[in-house]
Structure 1
Amino acid sequence: MVIVVLTTLSAIGPLATDMYIPAFPDVAAELGTTASRMQLTITAFFLGTASGQVVAGPLSDRLGRRGPLLIGIVLCLLASIGCALAPSVELLMVMRVLQGIGGGFGMVLGRAVLIDMTDGPELFRVMNIMQGVGGVAPIVAPLMGGIILLVGQWREVFVVIAVMSAISLVGVLLMIPESLPVSRRHSGGFRTFLRNVRTLLCRRLFVAYMLVNAFSAFALMAYVSASSFVVQEMLGFTSTQYSVSFAINSMGMMVMSLLSARLTRTIHPRDLIRVGLIVVSLASFALLIGSLFLDTPAWIVLPAFFFTVAPQGMIFGNGGALASDQAREIAGTGSAMLGLGFSFSASLAAPLVGVAGTQSSLPMAIAMVCGVLISGAFFIMAGRESGTPNPHAGRVA
Structure 2
Amino acid sequence: MSTTTKTSLLFVLIASGTVLGIAGTDLVLPAVPSLPLQLGGSVETAQFVLAAYAFGTLIGLLIFGELGARLDPCKLFMASLALFGAASLAASASPSIEWLIALRFAQGAFGAGPAVFAPGFIQGLYAQDKAASALGRLGSIESLAPALAPIAGAYLLELGGWRLSFVLLAVLSVLIGTAVFSQRRQFPRPTRVPHGHHSYLAILRNREFISYASSQALSLGGLLVFVFGAPAVLTGPLGKGIAAFVVLQVFGIAAFILAANSSAWVARTFGTLRTIRFGTAIMPLAFLAILVYALGDGSSLYVLVPIWMAVNLGFGIRGPIGFHRAITTARGDHSRAAAIIVAAILGIAGLGTTLVAPYIAVGLWPLAIAGTTLSAIGLLSLLPLREGR
Task: State the alpha-carbon separation in 1 of the partners of residues 73 and 350 from structure 2.
Answer: 27
1:315 to 315, 318, 322: 318
Q: What is the identity, as a one-letter code, of the residue corresponding to 2:40? A: T
Aligned residues: 378
Q: Which residue of 2 aligns with 1:74?
A: 82
Find out whether 1:157 has 2:160 as its counterpart: no
Task: State the alpha-carbon separation in 2 of the partners of residues 81 and 98 from structure 1.
Answer: 12
Q: Which residue of 2 aligns with 1:243?
A: 246
Unaligned runs of 5+ in 1: 389-396
Task: State the alpha-carbon separation in 1 of the partners of residues 365 and 216 from structure 2.
Answer: 23
Q: Which residue of 1 aligns with 2:19?
A: 11
Q: Which residue of 2 aligns with 1:393?
A: none
Is residue 64–residue 179 contact of structure 1 (8 Å, CA) maintained in 2?
A: no
Q: Which residue of 1 aligns with 2:308?
A: 305
Distance 1:12 1:269, change over 3 A: farther
Task: State the alpha-carbon separation in 1 of the partners of residues 178 and 322 from structure 2.
Answer: 30
The Cα shift of 1:342 comes to 0.8
Distance 1:379 1:91, change over 3 A: same
Is residue 21–residue 108 contact of structure 2 (8 Å, CA) maintained in 1?
A: yes
**TM-score for the superposition, normalised by structure 1:** 0.82
Q: Which residue of 1 aligns with 2:216?
A: 213
Unaligned runs of 5+ in 2: 1-8
1:57 to 56, 61, 65: 65
Distance 1:367 1:26, change over 3 A: closer
Find out whether 1:102 has 2:105 as its counterpart: no
Q: Deviations over 1:212-263 (max 9, x none)?
A: 1111123312422444566566766554344323322223223332333565
Task: State the alpha-carbon separation in 2 of the partners of residues 296 and 29 from structure 1.
Answer: 28
C-alpha RMSD over aligned residues: 3.2
Task: State the alpha-carbon separation in 1 of the partners of residues 180 and 194 from structure 2.
Answer: 23
Q: Which residue of 2 aligns with 1:184?
A: 192
Q: Deviations over 1:133-178 (max 9, x none)?
A: 4455346533331122233332221122123212321332233535
Map residues 1-397 of structure 1 onto 2, 5 A cutoff. Answer: 1-24=9-32, 28-29=36-37, 32-35=39-42, 38-86=46-94, 92-93=100-101, 95-135=103-143, 137-138=145-146, 140-176=148-184, 177-180=186-189, 184=192, 196-228=199-231, 237-260=240-263, 268-291=271-294, 295-296=297-298, 298=300, 300-355=303-358, 358-382=361-385, 384=386, 387-388=387-388, 397=389
Q: What is the identity, as a one-letter code, of the residue corresponding to 2:182? A: L
Task: State the alpha-carbon separation in 2 of the partners of residues 39 and 232 from structure 1.
Answer: 14
SS class of match (1:338): helix
Task: State the alpha-carbon separation in 2 of the partners of residues 43 and 241 from structure 1.
Answer: 22
The Cα shift of 1:310 comes to 3.2
**TM-score for the superposition, normalised by structure 2:** 0.83
Task: State the identity %.
Answer: 23
Is residue 121–residue 265 contact of structure 1 (8 Å, CA) maintained in 2?
A: no
The Cα shift of 1:106 comes to 1.8
Task: State the alpha-carbon separation in 2 of the partners of residues 303 and 232 from structure 1.
Answer: 20
Is residue 61–residue 186 contact of structure 1 (8 Å, CA) maintained in 2?
A: no
